[in-house]
Chain A
Amino acid sequence: GSKQPMITRFFGKV
């Protein structure tokens, strides 16, 4: 199976 990571894992809060 594959997992869908959230975009927040790559781009941090400013």
Chain B
Amino acid sequence: MLELRLVQGGLLKKVLESLKDLVNDANFDCSASGFSLQAMDSSHVALVALLLRSEGFEHYRCDRNLSLGMNLNNMAKMLKCAANDDIVTIKADDASDSVTFMFESPNQDKIADFEMKLMDIDSEHLGIPEAEFQAIVRMPSAEFARICKDLSTIGDTVVISVTKEGVKFSTRGDIGTANIVCRQNPSIDKPEEATIIEMEEPVSLTFALRYMNSFTKATPLANQVTISLSADLPVVVEYRVAEMGYIRFYLAPKIEE
């Protein structure tokens, strides 16, 4: 028996909106510690890891570990029927082939339940090693989204370079080139507008903008995004999900042939 009640149901809506274009089908893993997901995009180039800790739910009952195979597009369709301020409850029986999403309006005058069929999904679980990063950039998520969107009108790839001067995003295409530099800015008064760069050593890596743009669908979840970089290793683009967890996107850098 599984019953997870999330007062901030809007968070789950935002999580699904940020996943549904990248991943088609995935297993949500429910355990005593939380509600999580790990999945690759269909071309196995990008990986997403989601964690919503059990403490973040108003009520969290998970009698035994359960894996719920869901089509994320269909799950997003159902969650779109919830209002942003609705309380969302996810329910499933151990042997059931369906999951129920219950939506309650904040003043309890409207209660809806949507039942969705579960799927059997063969998914590989990958081990993500703990890594020391050469550079970690924390910046406003909307700024990062704007940069990725703007650069993708000019080129297909972005070179992210971190130096003591700041973080530089560069692209080149048929019509020309573009460079955007964001300098460190602690923004004491408005921490959500800060750009903080922790650098062990300079690093410069090239990534496909198509995937970066897909990751920025998570922008509504958090004011800040963290971009962790190391030479020849996948970048980690992380958005915090309120106080309850995170969504992390991993993308391998392009390699010159």
List residues of chain A with CB under 8 Å of any chain B CB: 1-14
A2 surroundings in chain B (CB, below 8 A): 157, 206, 254-257
Our pick among B124, B125, B252 for the contact of A5 (Cβ within 8 Å) is: B252
B47 at the interface (CB under 8 A from A): yes
The total of Cβ contacts below 8 Å across the A-B interface reads 60
Interface size class of B (residues with CB under 8 A): 20 to 34
B128 surroundings in chain A (CB, below 8 A): 11
> Given that A7-B45, A7-B46, A8-B44 are known contacts, is A14 also in contact with B127, CB under 8 Å in the complex?
yes
B208 at the interface (CB under 8 A from A): yes
One digit per residue, 1 when the CB lies within 8 angstroms of any chain A CB and 0 when it does not, for chain B 207-233 equals: 010000000000000000000000001
B252 contacts A13, CB within 8 Å? Answer: no
B256 surroundings in chain A (CB, below 8 A): 1-3
Shortest A7–chain B CB gap in Å is: 5
B257 contacts A6, CB within 8 Å? Answer: no
Shortest A12–chain B CB gap in Å is: 6
Task: Name the interface residues of B39-87: CB closer than 8 Å to any CB of A.
Answer: 40, 43-47
Shortest B192–chain A CB gap in Å is: 30
A5 surroundings in chain B (CB, below 8 A): 45, 252-255
A12 contacts B255, CB within 8 Å? Answer: no
B252 contacts A7, CB within 8 Å? Answer: yes
Shortest A10–chain B CB gap in Å is: 5
Shortest A5–chain B CB gap in Å is: 5
The CB with the most chain A CB atoms within 10 A, among B208, B233, B234, is that of B234
Q: What CA separation (Å) do A14 and B128 show in the bound complex?
A: 9
Q: What CA separation (Å) do A7 and B129 show in the bound complex?
A: 13
Task: List 8 other contacts, CB 8 Å, given A10-B234, A11-B126.
Answer: A2-B206, A2-B256, A7-B251, A8-B126, A11-B47, A11-B234, A13-B126, A14-B126
Query: Can you give 22 contacting A-B residue pairs, CB < 8 Å?
Result: A2-B157, A2-B206, A2-B255, A2-B257, A3-B256, A4-B252, A5-B45, A5-B252, A5-B255, A7-B45, A7-B126, A7-B234, A7-B251, A8-B124, A9-B252, A10-B252, A11-B126, A11-B129, A12-B126, A12-B127, A13-B125, A13-B126
Q: What CA separation (Å) do A2 and B129 show in the bound complex?
A: 25
B45 contacts A13, CB within 8 Å? Answer: no
Our pick among B40, B125, B208 for the contact of A4 (Cβ within 8 Å) is: B208
A4 surroundings in chain B (CB, below 8 A): 45, 208, 252, 254
Q: Using CB atoms, name the residue of chain A closest to B131.
A: A10
Q: Using CB atoms, name the residue of chain A closest to B128.
A: A11
